[in-house]
Structure 1
Amino acid sequence: MSYPTIPAYQTQANGAEKLSREHPVLDFLIDHQEAFDTGKMKTEPYTVFHVDDFVFTKSDGTVLPPGEASWKGLLEGYAPFNKHYHEGRYACIYERNGIWEMVGFANVYANLLVPGEKTKKDQSGRQWDVLVPGAFLFTCVKDPTGPKGFKVKSMTLFGDGVPVVGEMMKRGMVKAEDLVK
C-alpha cells in the first residue's frame, strides 16, 4: 500500500559545518536565527520577521495568544541569558497548501546573566554556560514585506530546560522553592 507524500528538502550539518542556505525558506530562517541570536531582532518590531498574528507554542505545550503576547512569551524563555547561539544541526522543509513548514534540530548554547564556569563548547570552540539540545517547528508564509519574501507565522519549541534551571540554581538565580509556585 502506498501513502501520499509531499516533496521535502533536508539538510544536516556535521562537525563545524553550517546548514545549507540552498533552500529559500531555510535561507530566511537562518537569517531569522542570526538576527535573534545577535539581538538585532529584539530591538526592532517583531513584525519585521513575523506576521502580526504570530503564534508561539512553549515546550510545555502552552499555546500563547497571537501577536505581541506570543512574541513576549518567546523572549521570556531567553530572559535568563545575556547571550545565546543556535547551532543548527538538521532541517527538513516542505510546503503544504502554500505554507512552508520547517522541522529543525539545533544545539542552543547560552551564557547566564550571573557569571560562572563555562563548561559547554560549541562546534566553533566557543565556551558557554549551558547547552540545550532543541527541536523547532516553524511555519512560514510568503510575504513581500518580510526579509527575503517570507515571515514566520508560528513557532513551536521543544527542549528540556532542566539543565538550565539546575545551573541557575547553582548560581543563585533561582531557589528550589521558586520552582513549585
Structure 2
Amino acid sequence: MLSHPAMAFMHAFTTAWCETTTAHSQPTNTWLTTDFELGSHDGRRFTGCEIGARAFIESLKLYETSTVEIESVYLEETEAGYTGLAMGRVFAKFKGEEQGEKGGKCVDSQGREWDLSVPRAYDCTFVRDEEGPVGGLKLKKMLVCGDMQPVVVEARKRGLI
C-alpha cells in the first residue's frame, strides 16, 4: 500500500503529525494546502491552512502519541492529484495516569503497545504540489469519522477531561 503516492504521503503525515509531532513546529503549508479543510468527528469544519492545522493539533491534545493503521483504502487519480476513502484504526497512548480499574492494552501490527485502539474512516483529497514534502503532494481535505466515546471514557479515567 505504501507504494502508492497518496499512501506514502499519509504514512509520513501520520509520523510527522501524530507519532513524533515534528510537523507541529513546521510551517503548516509544508503539508497542507492554503485552502485545507478539516472535518472533525462532531461535524465541525475548519477551513484554511492555519485554522485546520490548529484544529488537528487540538484533536491530539489528549494523547502522548498516536498512530493510524489503514486496513482498507479506495483511491482514484484526479486531474489535481488523488481522492479517496480509507478505513483503519487509531492507536493512542494517553497523557496522564490511568485511575481506578485498569483497562487492557492494545498492540498494533508492529508490536507496539497502546492504551486504546478505535476504528476511524478518512475522506481525503491530495493535490500535486512540487513543494509537497512526500511525492510532491499536499493534503487539501481530510474528513474524519469515528466514535469518540471510547476516547472520552479513557480520557476521563486519566482525569484529562
**Is this a same-fold pair by TM over 0.5?**
yes
Unaligned stretches of 5+ residues in structure 2? none
The residue identity in structure 2 corresponding to 1:125 is G
The alignment's TM-score, normalised by the length of structure 1, stands at: 0.79
Larger Rg: 1
2:9 corresponds to 1:23: no
Q: Deviations over 1:127-177 (max 9, x none)?
A: 211112111111011100112211001110111111011111122222xxx
Superposed counterparts of 1:17-166, under 5 Å: 20-36=1-17, 37-116=19-98, 117=102, 119-147=105-133, 148-166=135-153
Q: Which position in structure 2 is the counterpart of 1:4?
A: none
Task: Output the CA distance in 1 between the equivalents of 2:154 and 2:58.
Answer: 17
> 1:96 Cα shift?
3.3
Q: Which has the higher contact order (CA 8 A, sep 6+)?
A: 2
> 1:69 Cα shift?
1.1
Q: Secondary structure at the match of 1:64?
A: strand
Task: Output the CA distance in 1 between the equivalents of 2:160 and 2:8.
Answer: 36
The aligned length equals 155
> 1:57 Cα shift?
0.6
Moved over 3 A (4+): none
| Alpha-carbon RMSD | 1.6
Unaligned stretches of 5+ residues in structure 1? 1-19, 175-181
